[in-house]
A and B are shown apart, each in its own frame.
Chain A
Amino acid sequence: MLQYILRRALLMIPTLIVTSLVAYIIIELPPGDFATSYVANLAAQGDMASQETARVIREQYGLDQPATVRYLKWMQGILTQGNFGIAFELRQPVSSFIWERVWLTLALSLGSILITWALAFPIGIYSAVKQYSIGDYFFTFLGFIGIAVPGFLLALVLMYVQFKYLGQTSGGLFSSEFLTAPWSWDKVLDLLQHIWLPVIILAVGGTAELIRIMRANLLDELRKPYVITARAKGLPEWRVLLKYPVRLALNPFVSTIGWTLPFLVSGSIILSVVMNLPTTGPMLLRALQVQDMYLAGALILILSVLTIIGTLLSDILLAWLDPRIRYQ
């Protein structure tokens, strides 16, 4: 097991390097740089900004050095001091203000995974055991809708319903009095009161997929002779189910964290823009619009790295659950 974990962790290193390269390429891609867009912005507001200003900004932020040098400097800063560069628009180090948003994104994604499991697990079992019942058809239908309706559309519709019939506009993760307050128990409780809606919206798509997988897997297992044996020796039905076939059918739950996580992070970004949640989504969008490239690159890098670590954890968990995988 230890050997497996080590091997798997070593394999992660090249992936991380490539990820950082991809994030850096994204930083470098837009034509022009922050200096040009800053000058253009000033000009649009009627301010006269000269090439001189652009040159000064470039020098100040080291934008005049070759790309490879800047990449290495960027990486060095991240690895040695946790310094992700300067956010040009706010004129502050990126690392000084993004972490709260990153944690909220993570909380949103992890919350959705938990909800996904809590819903998909019983519904999947029910659908498989009562195959072709009305309930099964109902959940299958819901599942297809869940796959076809992306989270942000669902959010739009729900926000409209909420506005029309409850007369309230939702949005944000905190009540106004907690917006800038330091973290406290009350603030956490307030967060919990707001976060459930986006969490559920995010979870719908994944739940639909997982119900289908769970149902298919369990259906395969239920027809195997060992189930009949267990039943024949007089075990109560729930025990027959939970002790053997469900345990085997559980594997997809763990192995899907690998693709659920990128999917959820992606979904949470658009959802946050729609529902105006203070996660990384709106910040990334804004950063990309004004070419605040170190901020955008840092966000993309952090999200990707967290996803890759999540995938690693799910692989280890899977190997622990299913010994066959360890010895491949």
Chain B
Amino acid sequence: MNTEKETPVYVAPQWKLVWWKFRKHKLALVSGIVILLIYLVALFVEILAPFLPDQTNSKYLYAPPQSLHFVDEQGNWGLYVYGYTSKIDPVALRRTFEIDSSVKIPVGLLVEGVPYKLFNLIPGNRHLLAPLDPDQPMYLLGADRLGRDVLSRLIVGTRVSMSIGLVGVLLSLVLGILLGGLSGYYGGNIDNLIQRVIEFLRSIPSIPLWMGLSAALPLDWDPLRVYFAITVILSLIGWTGLARVVRGRFLSLREEDFVMAARLDGASEMRIILGHMLPAFTSHIIAAITLAIPGMILSETALSFLGLGLREPVVSWGVLLQNAQDIRSIATAPWLLIPALAVVVSVLALNFLGDGLRDAADPYAR
């Protein structure tokens, strides 16, 4: 046996073991990077979005996506997109667009455009990718019914959609740890009661309940209040999953020797729970959180899609998908379904990441 190679495993701290095990899970690793990128997008929305999300343009309603070109027909390098020619359909009285390859709209990196304040603090006006002439159209993912840029709206929506998952999970986490902890640590009647509550919450269909609750939000609330109300509504049921994980861990850890030792040492209950037991299952909690976020994202999308969640002018993926609700608008502008792709990618990546973390959370298990 090669002792020199084996030794690090025995002296490595727990987080290092977790990392080693997680590293082996390639899919989870890739997903982790994807999630990181998505959150970076959410962080730097103002720089990444070419235009403001509510900037309308009546000349380009439902303009189809353009593609970005690097080399033109003469072989010259340069970033540009082709312009549009539009004509009005005499029958449907609708404007139809065609990409006109004779018109070149030059596009640049870090172009000066609409001024903004990054994180509400740092003023700036440069956008990562934008047309050099701000009046020229650039719709890399097409335009919606008001001529707004779908790409910009998708990027801006990332912030709300991805953060509502985080905030909602944090709320559920507080409830889940508190109630799951009580349930698992004390057992007996308290455990029974909390378990019944969890069973009850899980046995009623959640969407009708959420619909009822969010329909009750007053229409004149400002977007921020609606946002928080929605997260509270979502975590009202979301905490049950986390509480179950926490309870399970408490039940199994309660019998461990080190807990008994701490108790014999006269440590207070708070100290036993927070100082001894909690660190032993932090990794499990992180995995459970990661697995809970996609549910929140999907729920927000569903509620906003039905028009009961967030509303314009707030931009989230669900709000964007509301425009793609009926077959007519999807038929004229299939690119309105692109936000669905963003939802699916982030939910898939979070699921893979969570699975990997869950497997790695217990580095001693084989």
19 A-B residue pairings within 8 Å (CB atoms): A15-B200, A15-B203, A22-B204, A26-B216, A30-B215, A31-B216, A144-B352, A148-B294, A148-B348, A148-B351, A156-B321, A261-B205, A262-B204, A262-B205, A266-B207, A269-B205, A285-B308, A300-B209, A308-B204
The verdict on A111 contacting chain B, using a C-beta distance below 8 Å, is no
A-contact bits for B332-346, CB 8 A (1 contact / 0 none): 001001001001100
Instruction: Label chain A's interface by main secondary structure.
Output: helix
The verdict on A98 contacting chain B, using a C-beta distance below 8 Å, is no
The verdict on B357 contacting chain A, using a C-beta distance below 8 Å, is no
**Contact: A164 with B331, CB < 8 Å?**
yes
Pick the residue among A160, A169, A270, A300 that contacts B305 (CB under 8 A). A270
* Contacting residues of chain B (189-240) with chain A, CB-CB under 8 angstroms: 199-200, 202-209, 211-213, 215-216, 218
Q: How far is the CA of A308 from the CA of B204 in the complex (A)?
A: 7
* Contacting residues of chain A (32-53) with chain B, CB-CB under 8 angstroms: none
Taking CB atoms, residues of chain B closer than 8 Å to A30 are 215-216
* In the complex with contacts A259-B202, A304-B204, A270-B306 CB distance below 8 A: yes
The verdict on A19 contacting chain B, using a C-beta distance below 8 Å, is yes
B-contact bits for A122-152, CB 8 A (1 contact / 0 none): 0000000000000000000000110111101
The verdict on A265 contacting chain B, using a C-beta distance below 8 Å, is yes
Q: How far is the CA of A266 from the CA of B234 in the complex (A)?
A: 14
The verdict on A153 contacting chain B, using a C-beta distance below 8 Å, is yes
Taking CB atoms, residues of chain A closer than 8 Å to B344 are 145, 148-149, 153
Taking CB atoms, residues of chain A closer than 8 Å to B215 are 30, 288-289, 291, 296
* In the complex with contacts A164-B331, A269-B211, A262-B206 CB distance below 8 A: yes
Taking CB atoms, residues of chain A closer than 8 Å to B205 are 261-263, 265-266, 269, 303-304, 307
The verdict on B325 contacting chain A, using a C-beta distance below 8 Å, is yes
* In the complex with contacts A15-B200, A156-B324, A303-B205, A163-B306 CB distance below 8 A: no
Taking CB atoms, residues of chain B closer than 8 Å to A274 are 325
Q: Which of A153, A274, A299 has the most CB of B within 10 A?
A: A153
* In the complex with contacts A150-B298, A152-B302, A274-B325, A296-B204 CB distance below 8 A: no
Taking CB atoms, residues of chain A closer than 8 Å to B216 are 26, 29-31
**Contact: B200 with A18, CB < 8 Å?**
yes
Pick the residue among A18, A163, A258, A289 that contacts B331 (CB under 8 A). A163
The verdict on A57 contacting chain B, using a C-beta distance below 8 Å, is no
The verdict on B347 contacting chain A, using a C-beta distance below 8 Å, is yes
Q: How far is the CA of A163 from the CA of B209 in the complex (A)?
A: 33
Chain A: minimal CB distance from B343 (Å): 7
Query: B206's closest neighbor in chain A, by CB?
Result: A266
B-contact bits for A282-302, CB 8 A (1 contact / 0 none): 001100110100001101100
Chain A: minimal CB distance from B160 (Å): 18
Q: How far is the CA of A71 from the CA of B173 in the complex (A)?
A: 34
Pick the residue among A258, A267, A297, A308 that contacts B207 (CB under 8 A). A267
Taking CB atoms, residues of chain A closer than 8 Å to B218 are 31
Q: How far is the CA of A171 from the CA of B328 in the complex (A)?
A: 12
**Contact: B212 with A296, CB < 8 Å?**
yes
**Contact: A153 with B211, CB < 8 Å?**
no
Q: How far is the CA of A308 from the CA of B298 in the complex (A)?
A: 24
The verdict on A157 contacting chain B, using a C-beta distance below 8 Å, is yes
Q: How far is the CA of A145 from the CA of B343 in the complex (A)?
A: 12
* In the complex with contacts A145-B348, A304-B204, A152-B327 CB distance below 8 A: no
Query: B294's closest neighbor in chain A, by CB?
Result: A148
**Contact: A160 with B206, CB < 8 Å?**
no
Query: A289's closest neighbor in chain B, by CB?
Result: B215
**Contact: B209 with A22, CB < 8 Å?**
yes
How many chain A residues have a CB neighbour from B under 8 Å?
51
Chain B: minimal CB distance from A15 (Å): 6
Q: How far is the CA of A111 from the CA of B347 in the complex (A)?
A: 27
**Contact: A288 with B200, CB < 8 Å?**
no
Q: Which of B205, B324, B337 has the most CB of A within 10 A?
A: B205
Q: Which of B205, B208, B301 has the most CB of A within 10 A?
A: B208
Query: A15's closest neighbor in chain B, by CB?
Result: B200
* Further pairs besides A29-B212, A300-B209: 12, Cβ < 8 Å: A19-B200, A148-B351, A152-B302, A156-B321, A156-B324, A160-B327, A266-B207, A270-B306, A274-B325, A285-B306, A291-B215, A299-B208
Q: How far is the CA of A218 from the CA of B352 in the complex (A)?
A: 22
How many chain B residues have a CB neighbour from A under 8 Å?
39
The verdict on B118 contacting chain A, using a C-beta distance below 8 Å, is no
Taking CB atoms, residues of chain A closer than 8 Å to B321 are 153, 156
Q: How far is the CA of A91 from the CA of B206 in the complex (A)?
A: 28
**Contact: A153 with B340, CB < 8 Å?**
yes
The verdict on A217 contacting chain B, using a C-beta distance below 8 Å, is no
B-contact bits for A59-91, CB 8 A (1 contact / 0 none): 000000000000000000000000000000000
5 closest A-B pairs by beta carbon, nearest first, are A29-B216, A266-B207, A26-B212, A288-B215, A265-B205
Q: How far is the CA of A285 from the CA of B324 in the complex (A)?
A: 18
The verdict on A241 contacting chain B, using a C-beta distance below 8 Å, is no
Q: How far is the CA of A17 from the CA of B293 in the complex (A)?
A: 31
**Contact: B213 with A270, CB < 8 Å?**
no
**Contact: A265 with B203, CB < 8 Å?**
no
Query: B237's closest neighbor in chain A, by CB?
Result: A262
Query: A19's closest neighbor in chain B, by CB?
Result: B204
The verdict on B330 contacting chain A, using a C-beta distance below 8 Å, is yes
The verdict on A311 contacting chain B, using a C-beta distance below 8 Å, is yes
Taking CB atoms, residues of chain B closer than 8 Å to A153 are 321, 340, 343-344
A-contact bits for B250-262, CB 8 A (1 contact / 0 none): 0000000000000
Q: How far is the CA of A298 from the CA of B199 in the complex (A)?
A: 22
The verdict on A199 contacting chain B, using a C-beta distance below 8 Å, is no
Chain B: minimal CB distance from A285 (Å): 6
**Contact: B203 with A157, CB < 8 Å?**
no
Query: A280's closest neighbor in chain B, by CB?
Result: B208
Query: A310's closest neighbor in chain B, by CB?
Result: B203
A-contact bits for B286-312, CB 8 A (1 contact / 0 none): 000000001000100110011110000
Q: How far is the CA of A225 from the CA of B173 in the complex (A)?
A: 42
Taking CB atoms, residues of chain B closer than 8 Å to A164 are 331, 334
The verdict on A159 contacting chain B, using a C-beta distance below 8 Å, is yes
**Contact: B211 with A171, CB < 8 Å?**
no
* Contacting residues of chain B (40-91) with chain A, CB-CB under 8 angstroms: none
Q: How far is the CA of A23 from the CA of B340 in the complex (A)?
A: 32
**Contact: A159 with B327, CB < 8 Å?**
yes
